[in-house]
Chains A and B, each alone.
Chain A
């Protein structure tokens, strides 16, 4: 259920704050749209989730002649990055925003150009401003030094620029410049066919591909008022857990890389490889591309595939248990994790943390529990929660979730065996005009929200993807007060995708 409140832009902060205060609402996505072609202005949509599971959307129109509105961030801090995106991409100013610097667009992007305005042609290339502005804030003072890192890193990882400020090895401040892999996917989706956008959704992020494909498909299905059959929904749920498994197992191995524990890197890497080869064997792709589609799934799991998943999962689960036991007994490894990179509970809550990072700081957010989707029913998934908020807690949340996922796969395979052969795809008709819908999936990294709006002819006119990697906004808070050499470890414990964030 989505309850809509249309308000004047001037009262957005009060309306949003009241919702958070009086109804314990939590901001799950915010976006802006250019609706001038439809005789309106710029639309702003703040979508909140209530404890009941229902949603409330607070919506306002902004006058295109004076495109500004009072920033909601001042009263709902979780809005901070969303409103900076609206400023960059749509050119609508959140006045009074505490940090109005650029976020998506980099310093050499010319002033006055906003890619998500309808009169901006996304296929054009844009020259560089010869006088870049808005540098990073930086830290200055006696004995203070700044360490710039990236965007190209020393390992095989994605690009981002980090500026550490501190004394000696102690970091006071981390500023992150991200969005290097911004590919303009949201703009490319505008006016594109439902199938074409599916290929883009699958390729927002390789490691979260299926989560994004399913979230997108759910948004389309909601608009078209179609629901995939039970068999297709079970297959989605099985494969989404397999996606979580190869990521979580690999992420534990990456923590070993962050502490130079080579045996752990290799043992965990082999388990991840086996899970990905299982994906290839049963779904034709190591990253599960090409499996989900609006209306259902493109691939059946026959009895041979079901048996193979069941067999492999038993074997890998048992090996993973031995692997984790050995890690937990390795004091030199665990010692690096305890008390490192603590993310404060209240900060995580207020700034809208999701996924593993939220749950390791005592914030029990898991879409599978709060908004069950595909074949999940209420009560099937209970959020794994810890309270320490450090690297160890994030590791242990993943470990417990790995075992829970193996159990869930078994349960779902049992249900799949009871369901006879069925149509795997329900046809999606034309989409209704001028409506929006949500698709939400708990990816390995957390809550991925796809917000999709249609235009006057039912075409896709705005596609907003808020992935769990919005958690990036929280990483600097967990790094301050730690040692610089612990940054790679803290970073790996969040294990966020740059591609998911940058789009």
Chain B
């Protein structure tokens, strides 16, 4: 029997088909799914391993996402969506007014597997070409508008991470890239590993994925400056 042909992206969820059998929650290696009286998937924790899709007998969980969309709050990354919080909206508006179409980004590896960091690198290649949006990576946090954080915030990087943020001038935004930075998943927090960027910094946008594709990272940065919101307003 051939192994299932499933793309390693996060599942789409169809509430109508779900019978709450709980097979997905049992098989999830990172505790991103809970099923009791309702189904809940935390996309910040999800590492796109697709085990849940493979075991779902009703087809409620299926492939279909290219990548999970970045959001302003952890709550918005809960599936099915709950209340959409407005936190960050104001800041994004301010950021857009102040920064316009020029956004300087400082990358901070706070203890990742380097997958997210290589994908951030890929945003700068000639194919994804993040510079066409007016986004540049800068060498110093003093020049940066956005801190792009990967990794769980390990014990050995916590102090350096705080100092990097402190070196930035306001207005400053923090974007958490990938499951590690968004939630600490999949590494257990403890003597060495932490619980993600939000445990020490005010995160404005969470980009789920393990790692998120370059398009997702670009979308997350645009969301941070409010350009996606504005475009939707225009439509």
Chain A interface residues toward B at CB < 8 A: 106, 115, 120-126, 151-152, 154-159, 179-185, 187-188, 195-196, 199-200, 203-207, 209, 266, 269-270, 272-273, 276, 280, 284-287, 289-290, 297-300, 302, 421, 423-425, 497-499
Contacts and interface: CB of A to CB of B under 8 A. Distances in A.
Given A154-B139, A183-B193, A298 B113 contact: no
Nearest to A154: B139
A122 B190 contact: yes
A493 to B, nearest CB: 17
Contacts of A151: 157, 160
Contacts of A157: 109, 117
A272 B126 CA distance: 11
Given A125-B191, A180-B157, A181-B154, A284 B7 contact: yes
A181 B190 contact: no
B111 A287 contact: no
Contact of B156 (A180, A204, A284, A287): A180
A206 B118 contact: yes
Instruction: Give the 3 A-B CB pairs with smallest separation, nearest first.
Output: A206-B115, A184-B192, A154-B139
B62 interface: no
A180 B7 contact: no
Given A151-B160, A180-B157, A183-B152, A124 B191 contact: yes
A199 B30 contact: yes
Nearest to B2: A300
29 contacts: A122-B191, A123-B189, A126-B191, A152-B108, A152-B109, A156-B117, A157-B109, A159-B111, A159-B160, A180-B156, A181-B156, A181-B157, A183-B187, A183-B192, A188-B187, A200-B186, A203-B113, A270-B126, A284-B6, A284-B50, A285-B7, A285-B48, A289-B47, A289-B49, A289-B210, A290-B48, A425-B3, A498-B114, A499-B113
A254 B118 CA distance: 12
Contacts of A125: 155, 189-191
A273 B127 CA distance: 8
A300 B5 CA distance: 8
B120 interface: yes
Contacts of A424: 2-3
Interface string B91-123: 000000000000000011101111111111110
A123 B157 contact: no
B169 interface: no
B227 interface: no
Given A152-B108, A182-B156, 13 more contacts: A106-B156, A152-B164, A180-B111, A181-B157, A184-B187, A203-B187, A205-B114, A206-B115, A206-B117, A270-B127, A273-B122, A284-B6, A499-B112
Given A205-B113, A266-B126, A270-B126, A124 B2 contact: no
Interface in B143-195: 151-152, 154-157, 160, 164, 186-193
B3 A297 contact: yes
A206 B9 CA distance: 16
Nearest to A106: B156
B8 A181 contact: no
B215 to A, nearest CB: 11
B124 interface: yes
B16 to A, nearest CB: 26
A272 B213 CA distance: 14
Contacts of A180: 111, 154, 156-157, 160
Contact of B121 (A156, A285, A421): A156
Interface residues of B, number: 58
Q: Majority SS of interface residues in chain B?
A: loop
Contacts of B157: 151, 159, 180-181
A290 B3 contact: no
Given A151-B157, A287-B211, A300-B5, A185 B187 contact: yes
Contacts of A299: 3, 5
A300 B3 contact: yes
Nearest to B138: A154
Contacts of A290: 8, 48-50
A152 B160 contact: yes
B125 interface: yes
Nearest to B111: A181
Contacts of B127: 269-270, 273
B29 interface: yes
Contact of B115 (A106, A195, A207, A498): A207
Contacts of B8: 284-285, 289-290
B95 to A, nearest CB: 21
A272 B124 CA distance: 12
B13 interface: no
B21 interface: no
A152 B140 CA distance: 9
Contacts of A272: 125
B1 interface: yes
B191 A115 contact: yes
A191 B98 CA distance: 52
A159 B108 CA distance: 8
A276 B122 contact: yes
Given A183-B152, A290-B50, A124 B140 contact: no
A159 B109 contact: yes
Interface string B76-94: 0000000000000000000
B49 A183 contact: no
Given A106-B156, A203-B115, A300-B2, A184 B124 contact: no
Contacts of B7: 280, 284-285
Contacts of B113: 203-206, 209, 499
A84 B120 CA distance: 34
